[in-house]
């Protein structure tokens, strides 16, 4: 383990990955200073983490930690809650560790280490660690066997343990949690060296591909890489696999995003990690085809994934009812993107970030950061209230409360999602970790991927130190200033990402326009000798734009969404007269929406205002169809960022609005 380079303390450590083009920076190298992400991180640290950790420590609300205590022999009782709650607790611990690492206070560190001690005691001597089974076995219930039930989610739990353990070790050098994860990974290695393909099928929601590879990166134990490769290979041997679990056909024959969207995106992220270590082209060829299918045919305008609550796989091979496969929380058919019933689990949207980050590290292509940025500003942030106390499981693009059917998941955010609290800790750890995605390095220099005020202090690949200050009011303002405070003497490149949404862009060095190509959806490389005090400015246009969808998306024919920079907007009941519906407003195609600064829940943001047509509608009660009326009045409509919806009164919301051309 000590052979790994001591300075490699990054979130996803590709520093020795032979097929990764880029390297992430060490955790802690980037600190948010002011502005958008500094505010979200502060809410994460001061509200999300303490509130949710309090829930996890209260067995009346969450039994997840109590399960560890029972399995450790500290408390008495039965397992309660879902089988995957171990994994969700590890994600919570990961979020707690990440925010703790910015202050490193002793009291919290002791709390973390006490939790780890309990987790370690819940592990069997052979390395197996999974409270639903360990507790039953402690009670001498020999019926309960490891990996016996598909919905036991063991490998999901193992995977999150590995990820959290690697991060804690990299941040502190402490091996208390890492040793637990090493024993667990050894157990999996031994288990899978003799496991059947059917057991691979039981490994649903595969967070462990990412986990096992990160364990390999931490320990350099070649058996772990072998395990990760084996885990993918045995998927191909599964008989009677399902589209829902992405194992009906071998992975390298897959070309479309299919099935349960969290499982799918976690699988794709894990396989991208395996590619970074092995360079197995057939994996990257499939990943790239699936990525194109997802972003061109199946992803929402908010970056959200997984259109369907439940459905039938569109990828079945026969019309025979015996072969029609059910899917749930899943990708649908190409262009099947309903709004009111969109599922879009927060974890699937986070999976989209995890996957695209790994694709980016492997390739250095800006298109992957475009998808990450879109998902961060829209579907990720919509998953949590602005004050950090409530969470969504699903993220629809239209919500109408007065509908004659019940959707399974709440359309109001909840403090703890009793049936399935997988999304809240996932959202918390992701927001806590976003600063790790802002920059990367390659042999040529520094890559600036995302924009938000921060201070960077890091080393380039040759070991030379660079300190810079990024100042911006992005995403509300398109001007970004980067001030070099310390840099090496020799020539190196600064790569600036020009977002794919931008129509143009300007780069200035010390106030002078730089004459190099600025192409949206690529990185502009500036290679020169730099000096302390140099200022790089990037100016991006921040006009509100009306966006239409491919006409094959039936649900939004003749509709537009409004987007400004990476931020998608929506109409919400709180901004229209009480006697009107969100459907009563039609946007003329020439509407010019202007920015207006507002506050919702103590958070400053940029709303948009523009003149639209309001059509006074009679009640639709008892009517499915009727003739069109042609009356309309002009109304100044306010739109708010989609991520901020649901933070005022309980109201209706829609991203898509009818357009008149």
Compute the least distance from the CB of residue 347 to Zn ion, in Å: 3
Per CB under 5 A, contacts with Zn ion among 420-479 are 422-423
Enter the tokens of residue 234. 């045995």
If you ran DSSP here, which 8-state letter would residue 295 be given?
I
Q: How far apart are CA 531 and CA 513, in angstroms?
A: 18
Compute the least distance from the CB of residue 244 to Zn ion, in Å: 16
Please, which residue, 380 or 468, has the CB nearer to Zn ion? 380
* Residues 222 and 206: beta-carbon distance below 8 Å: no
Name the one range near Zn ion by CB under 5 A: 27-35, 338-346, 589-597, 635-643: 338-346
Enter the tokens of residue 109. 């560190």
**Residue sitting closest to Zn ion (CB):** 347
Q: How far apart are CA 146 and CA 159, in angstroms?
A: 16
Give the three-class secondary structure for 616. Answer: coil
If you ran DSSP here, which 8-state letter would residue 25 be given?
P
Please, which residue, 381 or 539, has the CB nearer to Zn ion? 381
Q: DSSP of 212-259, one letter per residue?
A: HHHHHHHH--HHHHHHHHHHHHHHTT-SS--TTTT-SS-GGG--S--E
Enter the tokens of residue 193. 């060296």
Please, which residue, 399 or 422, has the CB nearer to Zn ion? 422
Per CB under 5 A, contacts with Zn ion among 409-428 are 422-423
Question: Within 10 Å of residue 187's Cβ, how many Cβ atoms?
Answer: 18
Q: How far apart are CA 532 and CA 634, in angstroms?
A: 54
Compute the least distance from the CB of residue 307 to Zn ion, in Å: 16
Name the one range near Zn ion by CB under 5 A: 106-114, 169-177, 346-354, 607-615: 346-354
Cα dihedral sign for 166, 170, 171, 175? positive
Compute the least distance from the CB of residue 42 to Zn ion, in Å: 24
Compute the least distance from the CB of residue 200 to Zn ion, in Å: 22
Q: How far apart are CA 490 and CA 496, in angstroms?
A: 19
Please, which residue, 71 or 423, has the CB nearer to Zn ion? 423
Compute the least distance from the CB of residue 346 to Zn ion, in Å: 5
What's the N-to-C CA distance of the chain in angstroms? 63
Enter the tokens of residue 141. 């219930």
Compute the least distance from the CB of residue 650 to Zn ion, in Å: 23
Per CB under 5 A, contacts with Zn ion among 600-629 are none
Please, which residue, 305 or 546, has the CB nearer to Zn ion? 305
Name the one range near Zn ion by CB under 5 A: 282-290, 344-352, 355-363, 559-567: 344-352
Please, which residue, 432 or 640, has the CB nearer to Zn ion? 432
Please, which residue, 309 or 569, has the CB nearer to Zn ion? 309
Among 347, 376, 549, 556, binds Zn ion (CB under 5 A): 347
Per CB under 5 A, contacts with Zn ion among 358-377 are none
Q: How far apart are CA 610 and CA 600, in angstroms?
A: 19
Residue count at the site for Zn ion (CB under 5 A)? 4
Q: How far apart are CA 286 and CA 283, in angstroms?
A: 5
Please, which residue, 293 or 395, has the CB nearer to Zn ion? 395
Q: Kindly give, in sequence order, each residue whose CB lies less than 8 Å from that of residue 618, ignoring residues fewer than 6 positions away.
A: none
Per CB under 5 A, contacts with Zn ion among 565-584 are none
The distance of Cα 135 from the centroid of its chain, to the nearest Å, equals: 32
Compute the least distance from the CB of residue 51 to Zn ion, in Å: 18
Please, which residue, 308 or 422, has the CB nearer to Zn ion? 422
Question: Within 10 Å of residue 2's Cβ, how many Cβ atoms?
Answer: 7
Compute the least distance from the CB of residue 210 to Zn ion, in Å: 16
Residues making contact with Zn ion (CB under 5 A): 345, 347, 422-423
């Amino acid at each position: 383990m000590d052979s790994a380079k001591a300075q490699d303390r990054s979130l996803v450590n590709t520093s020795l990955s032979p097929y990764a083009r880029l390297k992430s920076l060490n955790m802690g190298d980037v600190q948010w200073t002011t502005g958008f992400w500094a505010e979200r991180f502060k809410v994460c640290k001061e509200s999300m983490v303490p509130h949710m950790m309090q829930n996890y420590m209260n067995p009346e609300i969450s039994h997840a930690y109590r399960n560890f205590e029972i399995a450790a022999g500290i408390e008495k009782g039965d397992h309660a809650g879902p089988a995957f709650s171990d994994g969700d607790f590890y994600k919570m611990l990961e979020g707690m560790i990440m925010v703790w690492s910015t202050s490193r206070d002793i009291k919290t560190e002791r709390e973390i280490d006490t939790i780890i001690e309990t987790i370690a005691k819940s592990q069997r001597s052979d390395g197996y660690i999974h409270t639903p089974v360990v507790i039953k076995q402690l009670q001498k219930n020999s019926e309960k066997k490891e990996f016996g039930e598909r919905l036991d989610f063991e490998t999901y739990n193992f995977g999150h343990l590995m990820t959290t353990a690697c991060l804690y070790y990299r941040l502190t050098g402490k091996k208390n949690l890492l040793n637990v994860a090493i024993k667990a990974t050894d157990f999996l290695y031994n288990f899978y060296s003799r496991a059947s393909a059917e057991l691979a099928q039981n490994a649903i929601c595969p967070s462990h591909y990412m986990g096992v590879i990160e364990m390999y990166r931490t320990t350099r134990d070649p058996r772990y890489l072998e395990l990760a490769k084996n885990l993918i290979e045995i998927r191909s041997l599964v008989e009677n696999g399902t589209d829902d679990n992405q194992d009906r056909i071998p992975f390298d024959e897959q070309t479309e995003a299919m099935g349960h969207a969290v499982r799918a995106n976690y699988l794709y992220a894990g396989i991208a990690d395996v590619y970074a270590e092995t360079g197995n082209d057939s994996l990257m060829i499939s990943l790239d085809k699936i990525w194109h299918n997802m972003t061109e045919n199946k992803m929402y305008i908010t970056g959200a994934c997984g259109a369907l609550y439940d459905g039938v796989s569109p990828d079945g091979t026969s019309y025979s009812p015996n072969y029609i496969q059910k899917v749930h929380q899943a990708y649908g058919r190409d262009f099947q993107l309903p709004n009111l019933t969109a599922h879009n689990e927060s974890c699937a949207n986070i999976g989209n970030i995890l996957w695209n980050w790994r694709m980016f590290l492997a390739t250095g292509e800006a298109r992957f950061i475009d998808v990450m940025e879109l998902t961060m500003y829209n579907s990720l942030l919509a998953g949590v209230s602005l004050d950090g106390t409530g969470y969504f499981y699903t993220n629809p693009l239209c919500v109408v409360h007065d509908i004659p059917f019940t959707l399974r998941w709440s359309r109001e955010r909840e403090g703890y999602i009793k049936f399935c609290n997988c999304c809240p800790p996932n959202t918390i750890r992701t927001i806590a970790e976003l600063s790790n995605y802002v920059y990367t390095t390659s042999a040529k220099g520094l890559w600036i991927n995302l924009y938000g005020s921060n201070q960077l202090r890091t080393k380039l690949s040759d070991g030379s130190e660079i300190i810079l200050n990024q100042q911006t009011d992005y995403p509300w303002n398109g001007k970004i200033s980067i001030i070099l405070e310390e840099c090496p003497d020799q020539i190196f490149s600064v790569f600036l990402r020009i977002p794919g949404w931008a129509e143009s862009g300007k780069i200035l060095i010390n106030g002078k326009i730089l004459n190099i190509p600025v192409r949206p959806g690529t990185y502009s490389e500036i290679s020169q000798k730099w000096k302390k005090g140099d200022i790089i400015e990037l100016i991006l246009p921040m006009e509100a734009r009306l966006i239409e969808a491919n006409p094959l998306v039936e649900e939004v024919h003749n509709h537009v969404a409004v987007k400004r920079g990476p931020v998608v907007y929506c109409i919400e009941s709180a901004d229209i007269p009480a006697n009107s519906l969100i459907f009563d407003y039609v946007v003329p195609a020439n509407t010019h929406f202007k920015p207006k600064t507002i506050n919702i829940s103590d958070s400053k943001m940029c709303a948009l205002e523009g003149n639209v047509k309001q059509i006074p509608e009679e009640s639709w009660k008892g009517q499915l169809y009727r003739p069109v009326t042609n009356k309309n009045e002009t109304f100044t409509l306010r739109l708010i960022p989609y991520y901020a919806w649901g933070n005022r009164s309980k109201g209706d919301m829609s991203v898509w609005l009818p357009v008149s051309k």
